[in-house]
Every structure is written in structure tokens, then in C-alpha cells.
Amino acid sequence: MSRKAVFFDIDGTLWDEHFVIPESTKEAIRKLRENGQLAFLCSGRTRAFIQDERLLALGFDGIVAGCGTWIEMDGKTLFYKKLEQELIEDTIHILKEYGIPTVYEGSRNLYMDLEEFEEDPYGLRLKETLGEDLLPVTGNEAIMEISKFSCSTPDDAYLKVLSHLEENFTPLVHDAACAEFIPKGFSKASGIEKTCELLGIEKEDTYAFGDSINDVEMLKHVQHGIAMGNGTKAAKEAADYITAPLHEDGIYKGLEHFGLIS
């Protein structure tokens, strides 16, 4: 029997807003891998922001990060789409001109000017989580290595900046007044497709769990898209199956439903 590949979103899927991972989720992923199937993280976060040992200790065969811009397997980088330096500098100039607080996301570092996020708890969380891996934008413009960025969406300024960015990026607007900007042609779905191509995995053997707007393409792309019971309406509409919420053994029940564990 061919190996199955299961792709897991992180926030709202594997852990909650307090970074609590249900014991049933830990057991489910352990059983999945013991059964010879492949488990992947598949996140909008870039690799620099996937460091938490509570998460990595679950045991994954690979990581698809940065909405498909980074792929690794068994700790080895298989693919990386980083932005060209000229595009990075042009983008920084545009976003600063419109006064939009932005986090630039790479494989080794994230970049942000802390003074732009003085009243934003997300900025404090990044500082606490990343430590020395969080660097300022100012002074590093010419050497930044990134594949995507995220910014706040302050109404008129955000709408105006869209026209300058849409040629090179696809925006994903979240409910929490923020948007991710992904290089054109990239998504969690493209990352899964590339992973399967590199590893010789057939599409009919693919599964994905997700809960939010940036999971929609992934849930539609795989053979079996599974939305969390706590997920958004968009995620649920994109899925083939809706499992229980995260804290009601959603991962375990979803894998069990498809016969991947018992």
C-alpha cells in the first residue's frame, strides 16, 4: 500500500492561541507515523518562526513553510523561493511610504521595526519567541533574506498600497486586521504539490488539516481536505470533511475517520 502524506496547519489546528497542544493530537501524530504514513507541518509561518520545541517534538517528517516557499524533509532543505533583493527594497520603500507596520519573514530571521508595533501584542510575541532572530528592518534593507511578509491593514492606506503590490504578490486578508503577502503562484497548495512531486507521492494519497483563510487552497488541493470544527466558514466550505474542534480531539478523530489511525 502506498504511503499517505498528511499536512497540518499550526495555529488553530495543532495548538490553540495559548500554544496548548491536546494530548490526543500528540498521540494521533505518533500513531500516524508508526503506521508508516508521512506527517508534515504546512504553515504560513516561514521557517524562522517554526522553532517551538513543543511543536517540533510532535515529530514531523517534513515542513512546508512560508505558504509553499520553503520545503524540507528530514531536516534537509529541498526547495526555497526567496525574494530578489531589488523587489525586497522596493517593497520596503512602498510600505514605509504609506506608513504600514510590516513584518518581513525569512528562513533564518524575521525583520520588523519595533517602534511600529508598540501597542501591538503580536510584536511583543515575536520579540519573546524569536529573540536574536528578530532583526530590525531599518539598516538591514540591503541584506534581508525573505520569502513573504505580513502587515496590518489600516483601511485607506492598505487599499492604496495594494495596487503597488499586486503585480508580484497575492494578499491573504485575515479577520484580525492583517494580511499576508505571498509571491505570485505560491500557496500552501503549491507547497504540497511541489513536495509530492519531489517525493513521488500521488495526489490520491494526500490529506490536509486546516482552520483558516490561508488553508483554503490547501484544503481544496489535496484529495481529502479536513477542516477543524473550530475553523472559519471559508475553511469549512473548502473542506471535504469537518472534524471536531481542536480541543475535542479533532486531529485524532479526523485521522481515525479516514482510517489512518485506529
Query: How do the pLDDT tens digits run along the chain, 262 residues long?
Result: 689 999 999 999 999 999 999 999 999 999 999 999 999 999 999 999 999 999 999 999 999 999 999 999 999 999 999 999 999 999 999 999 988 889 999 999 999 999 988 777 777 788 888 999 999 999 999 999 999 999 887 667 777 888 899 999 999 887 667 889 999 999 999 999 999 999 999 999 999 999 998 899 999 999 999 999 999 999 999 999 999 999 999 999 999 999 999 9
What is the spatial distance between Cα 137 and Cα 102, in angstroms, rounded to a whole number?
9
What is the spatial distance between Cα 54 and Cα 70, in angstroms, rounded to a whole number?
21
Domain boundaries, the chain: 5-80+186-257, 85-183
CATH number 3.30.1240.10 given to 85-183: yes
pTM of the model: 0.94
Question: Residues 216-259: pLDDT tens digits?
Answer: 999 999 999 999 999 999 999 999 999 999 999 999 999 999 99
Output the CA angle 68-231-50, nearest 5 degrees.
40
Question: Residues 160-170: pLDDT tens digits?
Answer: 888 899 999 99
User: What is the separation of C-alpha 213 from the centre of its chain, rounded to a whole number of angstroms?
Assistant: 11
Provide the mean pLDDT of the chain: 94
What is the spatial distance between Cα 44 and Cα 73, in angstroms, rounded to a whole number?
17
Identify the architecture of domain 5-80+186-257 in CATH.
3-Layer(aba) Sandwich (3.40)
One-letter-per-residue 3-state SS of the chain: CCCCEEEECCECCCECCCCCCCHHHHHHHHHHHHCCCEEEEECCCCHHHCCCHHHHCCCCCEEEECCCCEEEECCEEEEECCCCHHHHHHHHHHHHHCCCCEEEECCCCEECCHHHHCCCHHHHHHHHHHHHHEECCCCCCCCCCCCEEEEECCCHHHHHHHHHHCCCEEEEEECCCEEEEEECCCCHHHHHHHHHHHHCCCHHHEEEEECCHHHHHHHHHCCEEEECCCCCHHHHHHCCEECCCHHHCHHHHHHHHCCCCC
